[in-house]
Amino acid sequence: MVRFFLLLSLVSCVCSWKKTENSTRLGRKLKPRSYESQLRIDRVKLEQGRVNNALIFGIAETKKENVVKIVQDIGYKLGIESPLNDIESAYRYKSSKVPQPILVRFKNNGAKGKWVILYRRSKLWNQEVYLQEHLSSTTMQLVVETRKWAKEKQYPHVWTWNNEVFYRKRDNALRLKVINMGHLHRLKTDEKAAETLDILAKNQ
């Protein structure tokens, strides 16, 4: 009888050990996937945090500058009556570029959109003042590569909106979207099929 209980105890320990080992192995398998999922979540949060932001390039830096006043004056040039009503904050954004750009955080996405549209209409870049959305590094790379491709195809318009990349083949043509680098590669190899895929994706 004693031997029976000892044997039963041993079997129970072995089963418990195997269960723990299997759980550990499962954890090892799931950990990389969970890590990748967290990276995607963090990336989305970062992009969402930038959705109301814009960067202004080309403004010389001075020691006693008033950045908010600089942005206000740019707003006046865009034809906005009360620019500060749209702005939550404005400051120099740490960057390797010289002069460092000004980051403008707008009160909402609608205000940012208004400034971006008015900037594009005003062609303020002729005065070497450049305003653009605060893009993630991934989207910035996608914009650069899309512009290279569009230039080769002689497509006149490539732009961003809310951290997404769009293009037109002609001035009044259908607006098309470049989803990611993989999609851009498909556009290069089979443009017609990739465009159809994009249109379907936008309707989902």
Res. 12: pLDDT tops 70: no
CB contact at 8 A, 178 and 188: no
If one compares 21 and 95, the residue with the highest pLDDT of the two is 95
pLDDT at 18: 46
Q: Residue 182 and residue 33: Cα distance in Å, rounded?
A: 21
Half-sphere exposure of 142 (CA within 13 A, CB side): 23
Q: What angle do CA 107, 158, 39 make, to 5 degrees?
A: 60
Q: Write down the mean pLDDT value for the chain.
A: 79
Selection from 142, 143, 123 nearest residue 131 by Cα: 123
Give the range with max mean pLDDT: 37-46, 69-78, 155-164, 172-181: 69-78
CA trace torsion 55, 61, 67, 71 (10° rounding): -50
Res. 58: pLDDT tops 90: yes
Half-sphere exposure of 58 (CA within 13 A, CB side): 11
At 3, is the secondary structure helix, strand, or coil?
Answer: helix
At 112, is the secondary structure helix, strand, or coil?
Answer: helix
Give me the mean pLDDT over the 12-35 stretch: 47
Give me the mean pLDDT over the 137-161 stretch: 91
Radius of gyration of the chain (CA): 27
pLDDT at 115: 95
Q: Residue 83 and residue 153: Cα distance in Å, rounded?
A: 39
Q: Residue 157 and residue 104: Cα distance in Å, rounded?
A: 25
Q: Tell if the pTM clears 0.75, that is, is over it.
A: no
If one compares 173 and 47, the residue with the highest pLDDT of the two is 173
Give me the mean pLDDT over the 134-141 stretch: 88
E-strand ranges in the chain read 53-57, 87-92, 102-106, 130-133, 157-161, 164-168, 176-178
CB contact at 8 A, 118 and 79: yes
pLDDT at 163: 86
CB contact at 8 A, 162 and 44: no
Q: Residue 199 and residue 134: Cα distance in Å, rounded?
A: 26
Q: Show the tokens assigned to 22.
A: 């299997």
Res. 96: pLDDT tops 80: yes
pLDDT at 61: 94
Q: Show the tokens assigned to 6.
A: 């000892």
pLDDT at 19: 44
Q: Position of tokens 């707003």?
A: 75
